[in-house]
Amino acid sequence: MRIFVAGSSGQLASALKARASLQGHVVETFGRPALDLAVPGDFEGLIAAFAPNVVLNAAAYTAVDHAESQAGLAMAVNRGGAAHLARAARRLELPFLHVSTDYVFDGEKGAPYIESDAPNPLGVYGGSKREGEEFVLAENRGALILRTGWVYGADGRNFVKTMIALAATKDRLDVVADRFGNPTHAADLADGLLAIAAQAADQAEGGIYHLAGSADASWFDLAEGVMARLEAAGLPVPMLVRSAGDDYVAPARRPRDSRLDCGLAERTFGVRLPGWPESLGAAVAAILNQERNAA
């Protein structure tokens, strides 16, 4: 496949390029200034020049707290830019995949969310992504929207990298133990998206699917997993202390329990992502190796 990926510097775009290369696909990532979702330009011409088989939007405004004071920018990227990209793909008659988030939900269900559950985002970021879903499908009825959550890997900013960095300087870490989701390795997510992209042309209709790691966790659970793998590598680790999400004051509210039921994607595409206990070791090793090379 030839895959046009919107986004270039984020952890998912980086993982897509790396995993696609291993699988023999031709992937090009497009970011600013050539492709700026906040300032829609000639997306159609840019895509046509690359001549892909599929278009995948891995670009987004993801600064959850900053979005509360930058609502205009978040909406421009996550709603307007995504819709503009979806329209360009439709005009070129190309399959279109769009990555969304578990933050479209309020986290009050008390069970994993399925695709038909009513979204109720708590903040600007989640709201911009939800409106992006609606605008994408309005512009491109054949679009496939893949919601994911808690993405981590060697590139970009994420919780696992933060825990590793803090472990090197702290004797104690307070970690939230009452917020739950599906930690998702960026490489696994990239593999899942590539598998779905290969089938996208055969889908008669678009729609929303959940695609995240198959094991859930709290932030504390994930931090424990990171520390166990650091300890196994012979590195010192701090003491972890359970804390409550409400103890932290932040501009944006987060869902308490944004676990996703990914059964529909598995039944439709035959794609099931590994759980974080299976994938975390490889991610921690890659991050440590990256740090050694940068030293």
Looking at the annotation, which residues are catalytic? 125
220, 176 contact by CB (below 8 A): yes
User: In this structure, what are the phi and psi dihedrals at residue 275, rounded to the nearest 5 degrees?
Assistant: -80, 165
Q: Which residues contact 55 (CB under 8 A, 6 or more apart)?
A: 3, 4, 6, 47, 85, 88, 89, 92, 94, 95, 96, 97
Q: What is the longest distance spanned by two Cα atoms in the chain?
A: 56
